[in-house]
Amino acid sequence: MRFKLYFNLENPELPIQYRKSILSFFKLSLSEYNPEFYKKFYNERDTIIKGYTFSTYFKNMKIEDDKVIVNDKCFNLTVSVQNYEDAIILYNAFNHQRNKMFSLYRNSWVLRDIEIVPEKKIEEDSVTIKFLSPLCARSRRNYKDYYFSYADDEFEDTVRVNIREQLKITDFPETIVDTFSITPISAKKIIVKYYEKQLECSTGTFKISGDRELLEYLYKAGMGSNHSAGFGMFQII
């Protein structure tokens, strides 16, 4: 299930790490609407794998130092959730925040509307996609994180490792990831600042292939590392 949230900003400046603010909005919305569901996805000790992703769209924006300047003082947030029951709870939690002011550092926003976004059906074992939020491919070695873009030799294998980690909350057999491949078509490398780290990510258009059920899961839940923090969301083109 996909839905789009439309926000108005009090002033045009957002921090460059705006994803942290969006995650705070997720947490506030869930904690107020359904505390038990909040505990399912968030705690103080462990990282919990989640079956959703999101992307943020600013129509008129520019980056200045450590700020994003949104000239028309509005933006939208597209959320995609793999599990329908989870999607309904998230939708209702966000709807509960409609027309309420959410305070940020030196700013605030108000959710003014929500709409359902139609999903496409995957009917082939290969599809062309465009990333709506950057794909993050992370490899963890000796307690240190390494990030790879599409141009790196380790990129595809690292994406598969990240997908295997995602699927731990599903009933998919681990071997299903062996069917997966990703090929750049018109791609580029970008650097994203996230929690004081500089993440090397990929964006643009790609061809992905594999088991259709796996592709559909990735379409709905997002792909790669940090997918539930605003990375790895794509549309089918």
Q: What is the pLDDT of residues 208-225, one digit of tens each?
A: 999 999 999 999 999 999
Same domain (yes/no): 90, 157: no
Q: What is the pLDDT of residue 82?
A: 97
155 lies in the same domain as 228: yes
The yes-or-no verdict on residue 42 having pLDDT over 80 is yes
pLDDT band at 134 (very low <50, low <70, confident <90, very high): very high
Same domain flag for 219 and 197:
yes
- Give the 3-state secondary structure percentages of the chain, helix then strand then coil, rounded to 5: 30, 40, 30
Give the Cα separation of 234 and 237 in Å (integer): 9
Cβ contacts of 100 within 8 Å, gap of 6 or more: 110, 111
Pairing of strands 61-64, 52-57: unpaired
| One domain for residues 135 and 211 | yes
The number of domains in the chain is 2
Percentage above 90 pLDDT, the chain: 86
Asked if residue 90 and residue 58 are part of one domain, the reply reads yes
Asked whether residue 43 falls in the same domain as residue 150, the answer is no
Please indicate, yes or no, whether residues 88 and 153 belong to a single structural domain of this protein.
no
Same domain for 63 and 94: yes
Residue 226's φ and ψ, nearest 5 degrees, are 60, 25
CATH number for position 153: 3.30.70.1900
pLDDT for 44 beyond 80: no
The pLDDT value recorded for residue 46 is 64
Which residue, of 100, 117, 134, is where some domain finishes? 117
The answer to whether residues 92 and 160 belong to one domain is no
- Residue 223: its pLDDT value, please? 98
Q: Measuring CA to CA, how many Å separate 108 from each of 62, 73, 115, 195?
A: 19, 11, 22, 20
Per-residue pLDDT tens over the stretch 150-165: 999 999 999 999 999 9
Whether the model pTM is above 0.75: yes
Residues 217 and 141 in one domain: yes
Q: How sure is the predictor about 25, in pLDDT bands with cuts at 50, 70 and 90?
A: very high
| Whole-number percent of the chain with pLDDT over 70 | 99
Dihedrals phi, psi of 24, to nearest 5 degrees: -65, -35
Domain encompassing residue 26: 2-117
Residue 180 is predicted with a pLDDT of 98
- Provide the CATH number for the domain around residue 42: 3.30.70.1890
Alpha carbons within 13 angstroms on the beta-carbon side of residue 119 total: 19
28/113 same-domain check: yes
Q: In this predicted structure, what is the pLDDT of residue 206?
A: 98
